[in-house]
Amino acid sequence: MSEERKESLNFIEQIIEDDLKSGKHNGRVLTRFPPEPNGYLHIGHAKAICINFETAKKYGGRTNLRFDDTNPTTEETVYVHSIQNDIKWLGFEWNGDAVYASDYFGQLYGFAVQLIGKGLAYVDDSTPEEIASMKGTPSVPGQDSPYKSRSIEENLDLFERMKNGEFPDGSRVLRANIDMTSPNMLMRDPIIYRIKKEHHHRTGDQWCIYPMYDFAHGQSDSIENITHSLCSLEFIHHRPVYDWFIEKLGIFPSKQTEFARMNVEYMITSKRKLLKLVNDNYVTGWDDPRMPTISGMRRRGYPAAAIKNFCDKAGVAKRENTIEISLLESCVREELNNTAQRAMVVLDPVKVIITNYPEDQTEILHAENNPEDINAGSRTLTFGRELYIEREDFMENAPPKYFRMTPGSDVRLKHAYILHCIGVDKDEHGTVTTIYVTYYPNSKSGEDVSGIKPKGTLHWVGASDSLPCKVRMYDRLFTVADPTADEDKDFLEYYNDKSLRIISNAMMESSLKGSSPGSQYQFLRQGYFCTDIESSSEIMIFNQTVGLKESFSKEVKK
């Protein structure tokens, strides 16, 4: 391999290419994505998915989808389905059928029996508090459990009786017999099985003891003959535990390699914290468009291609870092600029009457759907005497260099005519209720021979066929870039209670009626939006995806 090519590879690819060159694994590449089905996938999982699936594909390999379902207390089938949907939506296919750690419960139990038989595991009757106390601290060695000296025969008997349900929850655990003085706290006789008399989402009530994650994870990789076990950096201290089990059991040595996890400004990736946001009604659910979950980003309108491009641009690193959210939003804009259909929606409408346009007349105008895509076609707009523009696009006493609508000035309507403002009506509070204008008949877009050169162009909707709609505008979910940075403060103290603003009186062009959930649009001069799943024949609902340009400050002010 040339030095130039080697430098262009990330460190995981270099490892794989070295393995292939040496003939390791007989040229085979098999990775896996092993989520726990105890929550929805988030932006950090998106990176792990991309790394595992795309790396394997690059080298002609495959990727297993394995659910590490070892804790029946927190796991649900609904999470299994959501995870599968997210992976498919991102555009990846796993190797064969999805597999589960629970598929291997029998083998894992057998592995535990092997360890006991070798004197490498023992049943401990200590309470959780006693076990924690005996663990010591990073600077103080742990103490051996008084049950560590139990005979192999007694341990085998007790472990089988644990399996048979003779003992209550929490009364006994099986621990690996490693080293209570190890500098790695995880190596101090870790618990490998505990009693949990709870219904499992797949195995039902077949088992009342369940393997701990650290025991099941590495062995499951080995059972599946995973060649490259790729995971985030938070598991680096767990690697010696996995390696110890594999070595002592003499099973296939699946090697773990860690990469830096995805940390993004204003997003959190702790399932526990995300679940709290859901359970305490700070958000409407796991798929709330403000959530950093893949389902939330999908509902907000983030394209799968943009998320994958973001993960690619963020790169594969060995050290933890935080990615600016502006990079993610830039990837979203870049993708949607090329793919989103254009439309016009007025968020805060004020009526405009064209006094010199015939009262009973309308005409059909044509508007391109996407100037970036010559194959996107066009749509029709109905133009007539009355229409709506944005309230903020009018100013009665405008300052110099104000290029929108103001009395005595000219402004163009997108895809339509040039208007000249002549006056307004106001209510008793001084609020403008109607704007009066004239139009130049010879200024039609594409056919303009008026010679007038207005400096501003406004979006609009015709009053005759526009429809009311609801628009959800989003801000950051938190008021600071890292709501978990201060250990002395609850992350919820930084919750942004202004992160959702609902506009109920918006008016949309008629072409948007009936658009299917997930349809993506650029609302001209407003930003990118998508049709929400709660839309109905009575009212269309749109979620703001991202603005036309970066507009958020580094810190959101309450």
> What one-letter code names the amino acid at 477?
L
Q: Is 149 helix (H, G, I), strand (E, B) or coil?
A: coil
The residues, ordered by sequence, that sit 6+ positions from 284 with a Cβ below 8 Å of its Cβ are none
Q: Is 86 helix (H, G, I), strand (E, B) or coil?
A: helix
Strand bridging mode 173-176 / 191-195: antiparallel
Q: Which two tokens stand for residue 11?
A: 């460190």
Active-site residue flag, 261: yes
The β-bridge partners of 432 are 426
| C-beta neighbour count of 537 within 10 angstroms | 7
| C-beta neighbour count of 285 within 10 angstroms | 14
Q: Is 168 helix (H, G, I), strand (E, B) or coil?
A: coil
Distances (CA, A) of 209 to 34, 54, 106, 160, 549: 21, 36, 11, 10, 54
Q: How far is CA 296 from the centre of its chain?
A: 6
Spatial strand order of the sheet with 30-33 comes to 30-33, 62-67, 99-100
Of 36, 75, 258, 390, catalytic: 36
- H or E element that contains 161: helix 152-163
* Matching residue, tokens 């000219």: 410
* Matching residue, tokens 């340009």: 549
Nearest to 256 by CA among 216, 217, 223, 224: 217
Q: How far is CA 486 from the centre of its chain?
A: 24
Nearest-angstrom CA–CA distance, 377 and 557: 42
DSSP 527: E
Of 150, 255, 261, 298, catalytic: 261
CB contact at 8 A, 191 and 173: yes
Active-site residue flag, 476: no
CB contact at 8 A, 395 and 466: no
The β-bridge partners of 388 are 351, 461
The residues, ordered by sequence, that sit 6+ positions from 314 with a Cβ below 8 Å of its Cβ are 47, 262, 323, 327
Q: Which two tokens stand for residue 407?
A: 């009395």
DSSP 286: T
| C-beta neighbour count of 299 within 10 angstroms | 24
Nearest-angstrom CA–CA distance, 137 and 193: 23
Cα dihedral 548/313/341/374 (nearest 10): 120
DSSP 414: T
Nearest-angstrom CA–CA distance, 20 and 1: 12
Task: Provide the greatest CA pair distance for the chain.
Answer: 101
Go through the chain and tell me how many residues it has. 558
Active-site residue flag, 198: no
Of 271, 308, 342, 379, catalytic: 271
Burial class (CB in 10 A: 0-12, 13-18, 19+), 371: exposed
Catalytic residues: 36, 261, 271
